[in-house]
Amino acid sequence: MLNLKKSIARKGIVGLDIGSSAVKAVELEGRAGQASLTGLGYEQLPPDTVVDGQIMELNAVSQAVAEVFNANQIRTTRVAASVSGSAVIVKNIVVPKMSEEELDESIDWHAEEYIPFDINDVCLDYQVVGAGADSLFVLMAACKRDYVANRRQAIQLAGKEPIIIDVDAFALQNCYEYNYLPGPDQTVALLNIGAANMTIQIVRGTRSMFTRDASFGGNQYTAALQRDLGLTYEQAESVKRGGPAPDGVDEKQIEAIFAHVTDALALEVQKTFDFYRATTDESERVVEKIYLAGGGSKLRGLAESLAERLHIPVEPLDPFRRVRVDARRFDPDYMREFFPEMVVAVGLALRGVEG
């Protein structure tokens, strides 16, 4: 079961982002347009517990989920979580005009052509997003069934109730829409750079135009530092996060390694933009701006490097731009440090406050 439809307001839901490096939880309260933060948590995961979106160590993940609730006194048990990575397929498809029932009955058949897995092994959901003279535009999302089941199980083992399973890309978009109120013609790319995965979500106004997950993330920088400088994982992580260079290594070498990996990252984004342009017929659909999210986006100088390579403005996406945050309860320095990691969890939590 994937649940993409936004129409139902669900009170009291915790947005839970189970990433490959950490679990993040966000709880919001309030009505549409007036959300305030009531709970926030971050819990590191041991390495290799989640690989390409698949949970390998169910117990480790469910422990981290339980801990993130306990440590931060989050009492709501209803959860909106999400899936990402190569098991997820998101596509805009065109089908002949038909009734709701007809579409519901035939969607598997229409979707089959776009899904590289057996249709019986996937969870599928869709939304009609527009209509032509004799066609319907349908946004469809599918995910391997065992990936979804796996996530639900980890959440249930922690004593929580998975109410919604969404897709990272849509949570990202949800967070952007709520906080930035985009105009109908504004085309932007949302880039969530995690540890192992990068989600590229191209949005025009509030419409999802193109979605792609690439196996690329902060891990690539760490691995390159380890390989080229002979560092341990811990040393490389520390250097990446701005720690002092180990003996015998100078800053120039580090910068060169960063630049090399950023070239590859920019190329992935460029390839996605090119593909998007080639498959969209309206000529004005040029991406105007990139919003960055995810822990991987905190690499120093990354926004500037991407702007230079892709020739468009790049700025961080602030998930709390229009969310009330009480500075007495949530330390502003901590919030500033961790907001890139919280984007998906905020987008998921918003499923509980939007009307």
CB-count burial class (<10 Å; 0-12, 13-18, 19+) for 7: exposed
The answer to the question of residue 340 lying near Mg ion (CB under 5 A) is no
The answer to the question of residue 63 lying near ligand ATP (CB under 6 A) is no
Binding mask 165-194 for Mg ion (x = CB under 5 A): -----------------------------x
The answer to the question of residue 296 lying near ligand ATP (CB under 6 A) is yes
Q: Is 225 helix (H, G, I), strand (E, B) or coil?
A: helix
Rounded Cα distance, 164 and 209, in Å = 23
Rounded Cα distance, 155 and 165, in Å = 11
DSSP 246: P
Q: Kindly give, in sequence order, each residue whose CB lies less than 8 Å from that of residue 138, ignoring residues fewer than 6 positions away.
A: 92, 93, 94, 95, 103, 107, 110, 126, 127, 128, 129
Nearest to 301 by CA among 351, 261, 328: 261
The answer to the question of residue 15 lying near ligand ATP (CB under 6 A) is no
Q: Looking at 78, 241, 309, 321, which residue binds ligand ATP (CB under 6 A)? A: 241
The answer to the question of residue 212 lying near ligand ATP (CB under 6 A) is no
Which of Mg ion, ligand ATP, none is residue 347 near (CB under 5 to 8 Å by kind)?
A: none
Q: Looking at 3, 21, 150, 272, which residue binds ligand ATP (CB under 6 A)? A: 21
Least distance in Å: CB of 196 to ligand ATP? 4
Least distance in Å: CB of 210 to Mg ion? 19
Rounded Cα distance, 304 and 40, in Å = 29
The answer to the question of residue 19 lying near Mg ion (CB under 5 A) is yes
The answer to the question of residue 318 lying near ligand ATP (CB under 6 A) is no
The answer to the question of residue 347 lying near Mg ion (CB under 5 A) is no
What is the footprint of ligand ATP within residues 180-199 (CB under 6 A)?
A: 194-197
Stretch that binds ligand ATP, among 64-72, 214-222, 227-235, 323-331 (CB under 6 A): 214-222
Using CB under 6 A, count the residues that bind ligand ATP: 20
DSSP3 helix / strand / coil % (the chain, rounded to 5): 40, 30, 35
DSSP 171: H
The answer to the question of residue 218 lying near Mg ion (CB under 5 A) is no
Tokens 């250097």 found at? 239
Rounded Cα distance, 26 and 31, in Å = 16
User: Smaller CB distance to ligand ATP: residue 57 or 108?
Assistant: 57
Q: What is the sign of the dihedral through the CA atoms of 319, 324, 326 and 332? A: positive
Alpha-helical runs (H) found in 311-353: 332-338, 343-349
The answer to the question of residue 87 lying near ligand ATP (CB under 6 A) is no
- Which positions lie near Mg ion, rule CB under 5 A? 19, 194
Residues that bind ligand ATP (CB under 6 A): 19-22, 194-197, 217-219, 237, 240-241, 294-296, 298-299, 341
